[in-house]
Structure 1
Amino acid sequence: MADIVIAGAGVAGAAAALTAARAGARVLLLGPVADAAGRDKPGESLSASARAVLEAIGCADLLAAGPHRENRVTYSAWGLPALAQRHAAGHPEGNGFVLDRPAFEAALADAVTAAGIDWRREMALAAHATGGGWAVTLASGEEVQGAFLIDATGRSATLARHHARRFRADRLVACWAMLARSDVEVEPTAASLIEAVPTGWWYASLLPDERLSLAFFSDPDLLPRGISRDPALWRQMADETQFIRRWLESATFSIDAPPRLASAATTWLGPAGHMDPDTGLGWAAAGDAACGLDPLSSHGLATALWTGQRAALAGLAAVGGDPAPLAAYAQTLAGAVTDFLLQRSRIYGLERRWPDAPFWARRQRF
């Protein structure tokens, strides 16, 4: 039986597995490879705070070795009809990164393999307590055993949602796409851009391969009907912006397909971990299973790494009979969510140009 069984092999799951393995624990990682190399997915911003976690899990060179770029400057039109410029040089932690997300996750997967971690590339469907631990049912129907359970299955929180309450602050949705240039001779600006509009806000960032990651965030009821099928609607929405439109036009980025949609809601689990005082069985959630934050924070990937590491450390202590680190982990995460909600309220409150627009009116009530 494994000391730690981890459901979900994404960023949080990999961080948890590497942390536990480096401590000498018997680790069982469950889940398919996060994404096949080359498959696009949203979420390419990595804040500078992630460096410490990457070093702690033995991946200090991962960023330097990969095809990533430092995010030195971000522009925003938020609260005013003009661009403000923020340089990373003024940030105490230094530059963050714009990732080649598939390459980043592939490198984490390689690190897991190199560490000799037992990795079953099957999805975990359910878990139940047994006399001496957890029995986790795989998609194949097989059961595997572990003394401590970590749920890193993403926003679905496939296993942990049965042991804690799921909270939701909003229903934010991301419409996103990766755009190529029609004229490759044009040199695009290596930057990120945020622009608020009456129905939500836009985000664009130049990727390391010089494509543009473009996303629009709004509430489901405010999106045009058919947006996920009609590229003309997507182009029309972008044309109604001021600064996003200029960037697309000047760098010849073309919208040739409809966007994909994904949940970007702020959600969290309470508590994010628990150890039964009678049975001694413990579990923890990590990554988006523990808390999925509004993308405005740009902390999603760093949070996934941190929660993966901390959940594993708490699990190791719980297996050794000490429940205190697990309780502290759950308490720290709850406090972090509270702080984030206050910060989110403050940032959304800075935009007061459209107080009667539903998107902004909903967020002024926070």
Structure 2
Amino acid sequence: MLNTTIETEIVIIGAGIAGCIAAISLAQSHRVVLIDKLESPVDRIGECLAPAARRILKKLNLLEEFESSISINEWDHENGNLHIKNRGTQSYWGSSQVHIVDPLRNPDGFGWHLNRKAFEDFLRFSAAKRGVQCIWPAKLQESRFDDENWIIRTKKIDQNLQTESHTINAKFVIDASGRQSHFARTQGVVRNHFDKLIACWITMKNAELNSMSTISTSKLGWWYSAPLPNNKRIIAFQTDSDLIERATVKELDLFIESAKKNPEMERFLEKNTSEIQFHGTVAANSSKLNQVTGKQWVALGDAAVSFDPLSSQGMFNAMANAMQLTELLLALNLVKEPTESKNRVFYEIYSQQINQVWEHYMKHKNIFYNQEKRFKDEAFWSRRHVDEFNKNT
């Protein structure tokens, strides 16, 4: 077994959106190692990137390349187009009458519907191009703090079943491993879950001319559909894991049958049911670590707090959180001078920043769910009305 030792300043665990943005922004001033357990990104349900992300991409000198997708042949030849314009949302929420929300008055302009897998590939490629040392697939095996350094051990097995391990000595660790928060859990940190929301989803060929997203409620939860790049469409159902028969979120025919009971989803499905890919179920609940930073480590993005997809802020929050973290680390020069006093200041400021984001999110989540009164006596909705909100906060 080959074992490689790497000396660096920052190791980032997780090469998703948060991890890559942090790596790209920190690479200008620090030696950064970025690791991920997956050799390449996989399909994910999140695909709506808010217009405000344009500012972050521009600051990192990624916007022109992202918008033109001119590099797509260089870094990817299978995923196809990177994005299409998000022209707004038609919402059947709180009423059977459609409510249109469009970005025409947004100072940042239009957002995007992403080919999420291609976007993450784009960010990985950009990180490597900026000098970040990228290691994948590499599974976290051990982490310990010794002599003012973190020692991170990883293992990977290649296609020929050859085992390779890395021992990474770093001053600072960023946990960007998503909802699993792998590193934080090794430090004994507990993750608090505030609901049981799951999302079950399919993608299929798009036969709809309307390029807006669609949100529609039902007794058991809410449906979502949107066009995607490469003439595809997503249909997803959000409900609580204990409120639905398991077969419905595990078998395509039952999922389609359930979707057709919703008038808006039925319209998409009656025009075309070809080339359907069933992606199954993923966690979509609101959750938060009870400690988001510690001795020369920090949790970032979904690893720190995860949002209900209704907010459409998961990807933007990951990017904004990464930029905010970079600014704080640079202002304190914490990585190069990790003194006790600086660690205390960082702990207080970063924890406060995450708490403010969380409180803002929970407030608006409560407001939006309370706008749907038609099913207020149903379990899914009664759990999300004012009493549940007050209990959770």
TM-score normalised per structure 2: 0.84
Contact 1:231–1:259 (CA under 8 A) maintained in structure 2: no
Cα distance in structure 2, aligned partners of 1:73 and 1:6:
34
Contact 1:227–1:259 (CA under 8 A) maintained in structure 2: no
**Change beyond 3 A, Cα 1:137–1:196:** same
Helix, strand or coil at the partner of 2:43: coil
Note if 1:287 corresponds to 2:301.
yes
Cα distance in structure 1, aligned partners of 2:274 and 2:260:
11
**1:138-217 pair list within 5 angstroms:** 138-140=154-156, 142-161=166-185, 162=187, 164-181=189-206, 186=207, 188-217=209-238
Cα distance in structure 2, aligned partners of 1:187 and 1:358:
33
Cα distance in structure 1, aligned partners of 2:39 and 2:221:
29
Cα distance in structure 2, aligned partners of 1:357 and 1:264:
20
Runs of 5+ consecutive residues of structure 1 not aligned to the other structure: 275-280
Match of 1:278 in 2: none
Query: CA shift at 1:326, angstroms?
Result: 4.9
Query: CA shift at 1:253, angstroms?
Result: 4.0
Note if 1:35 corresponds to 2:40.
yes
Match of 1:82 in 2: 97
Match of 1:106 in 2: 121
User: Which of the residues 266, 289, 297 maps onto 2:311?
Assistant: 297
Cα distance in structure 2, aligned partners of 1:34 and 1:287:
21
Paired AA for residue 52 in structure 2:
S
Contact 2:37–2:140 (CA under 8 A) maintained in structure 1: no
Cα distance in structure 2, aligned partners of 1:15 and 1:257:
29
Note if 1:360 corresponds to 2:381.
yes
Paired AA for residue 261 in structure 1:
T
Contact 1:20–1:313 (CA under 8 A) maintained in structure 2: no
Match of 2:328 in 1: 314
Cα distance in structure 2, aligned partners of 1:254 and 1:203:
19
**Change beyond 3 A, Cα 1:34–1:101:** farther
For residues 63-118 of structure 1, the C-alpha deviation after alignment (integer angstroms, 9 at most, x for no partner) is 31233112112100000012111111033432111011122111111111111211
Helix, strand or coil at the partner of 1:226: helix
Note if 1:119 corresponds to 2:134.
yes
Match of 2:59 in 1: 56
Contact 1:150–1:311 (CA under 8 A) maintained in structure 2: no
Query: CA shift at 1:129, angstroms?
Result: 0.7
Paired AA for residue 54 in structure 1:
L
Note if 1:247 corresponds to 2:268.
yes
Runs of 5+ consecutive residues of structure 2 not aligned to the other structure: 1-6, 70-80, 157-164
Cα distance in structure 2, aligned partners of 1:137 and 1:12:
21
For residues 296-329 of structure 1, the C-alpha deviation after alignment (integer angstroms, 9 at most, x for no partner) is 0101111111222333443443223434345322
Cα distance in structure 2, aligned partners of 1:72 and 1:326:
40
Helix, strand or coil at the partner of 1:90: coil
Contact 1:3–1:147 (CA under 8 A) maintained in structure 2: yes
**Change beyond 3 A, Cα 1:81–1:187:** closer
Helix, strand or coil at the partner of 1:129: strand
Cα-Cα RMSD: 2.0
Cα distance in structure 2, aligned partners of 1:283 and 1:273:
6
Paired AA for residue 132 in structure 1:
E
Cα distance in structure 2, aligned partners of 1:272 and 1:46:
24
Contact 1:8–1:123 (CA under 8 A) maintained in structure 2: no
Query: CA shift at 1:34, angstroms?
Result: 6.7
**Change beyond 3 A, Cα 1:253–1:87:** farther
Paired AA for residue 36 in structure 2:
G
Query: CA shift at 1:55, angstroms?
Result: 2.2
For residues 218-237 of structure 1, the C-alpha deviation after alignment (integer angstroms, 9 at most, x for no partner) is 00111223124422211111
Contact 1:314–1:326 (CA under 8 A) maintained in structure 2: no
Note if 1:227 corresponds to 2:248.
yes
Note if 1:19 corresponds to 2:25.
yes
**Change beyond 3 A, Cα 1:136–1:313:** farther
Query: CA shift at 1:361, angstroms?
Result: 1.0
Contact 2:203–2:278 (CA under 8 A) maintained in structure 1: no
Paired AA for residue 150 in structure 2:
W
Cα distance in structure 2, aligned partners of 1:259 and 1:101:
14
Cα distance in structure 1, aligned partners of 2:166 and 2:124:
23
Cα distance in structure 2, aligned partners of 1:130 and 1:343:
42
Sequence identity (%): 29
Paired AA for residue 70 in structure 1:
K
Contact 1:9–1:34 (CA under 8 A) maintained in structure 2: no
